[in-house]
Amino acid sequence: MRQLFNYLFCMLFCVTAFAQVAIFHPVKIHPDDVENLIQLEKKFSKKMAQDAVAKGDLVWWGFLQTFNATADDYNFMFVNVYKDIDAAVSPKANWWNNAKQVIGVEPSVLMDAWVEDAIFDRRYFYQIRQQINSDQQGKFLIFNFGTPASIDRVLASNEKHIIPAFKKNLKKSGMTGWGAATKITPQGADYSTFMTYDAFDSMANLMKHLSGDGAAIKGIDLSKIEPLTFEARYVFEVLASTD
């Protein structure tokens, strides 16, 4: 009976976790507005997002700053994670519209403080297919984007080789989380179909991972992994997030 319960629990957990939808929204902020935006997000948006999490309308929110950006790059990114597709496209997904009820300020007041000169990219929707979480929030993130020949083979390879090694090496590598996701929209020749993320407790541990010297990949036979070339790898610092 206990084995049956554990099996059912695992099945329910996996379905729930892997149905999650992450929405990335890059934005380019004028240098004059950067400090103002950071303070607004830390003081107000985090509180509104935490309220949405408490209500079950949101799983996680993060406000990220691009590392090593040029003057032409998007220098910040908002990340919203919802429990499934229905939640991601629900009117409740626009939790920032509740500013008046949560913090007593109209949404337009907060937006007017920085949006006028901001340049927004489109929103990118991904469905999380695999995940490793720890009890520690990541402070620095790598987002890896690519278009594998076979997503199914990559997921199977992850399950067999990557996930066991990462779980084993989690603490000593400074990795606080990892995940793999498939693109929902936009789709087309100019867009990657697959994404993985790596979360770390420090920039040093993140850089070691990128350089190939990090502890997370120790013990992995790279010759057995399904080939996947990342077309782009971006580094971000988490400036604010929900708990």
DSSP secondary structure letters along 148-160:
-S-HHHHHHHIII
The domains found in the chain, sorted by start residue, are 2-120 (3.30.70), 126-241 (3.30.70.100)
Q: Which pLDDT tens digit goes with each residue over 165-182?
A: 999 999 999 999 999 999
Residues recorded for the chain: 243
Q: Provide, rounded to the nearest whole percent, the portion of the chain with pLDDT above 90.
A: 83
> What is the rounded average pLDDT for all residues in the chain?
91
- 143/23 Cα distance (integer angstroms): 13
Q: Is 24 helix (H, G, I), strand (E, B) or coil?
A: strand
Residue with tokens 């390879």: 157
Supply the pTM of this predicted model. 0.90
What is the pLDDT, as a whole number, of residue 9? 37
For the chain, the straight-line distance linking the first and the last C-alpha, in angstroms and rounded, comes to 35
Q: What is the pLDDT of residue 10?
A: 40
8 Å CB contact between 216 and 173: yes
- Burial string for 25-41 (b: 16+ CB within 10 Å, else e) reads ebbbbeeebeeebbebb
Top-confidence residue, 73 or 222: 73
Measure Cα distances from 233 to 79, 109, 110, 146 in Å.
16, 35, 31, 9
Query: In a 10 Å sphere around its CB, with 0-12 CB exposed, 13-18 middle and 19+ buried, how is residue 141 labelled?
Result: buried
Note the pLDDT tens digit of each residue in 83-106.
Answer: 999 999 999 999 999 999 999 999
Residue 132's nearest CA partner among 161, 175, 85 is 175
> Does 151 or 107 have the greater pLDDT score?
151
What pLDDT was estimated at residue 112?
82
Q: Is 186 left (phi over 0), alpha (psi -120 to 50) or beta?
A: beta
Structure tokens at 50: 């935490």
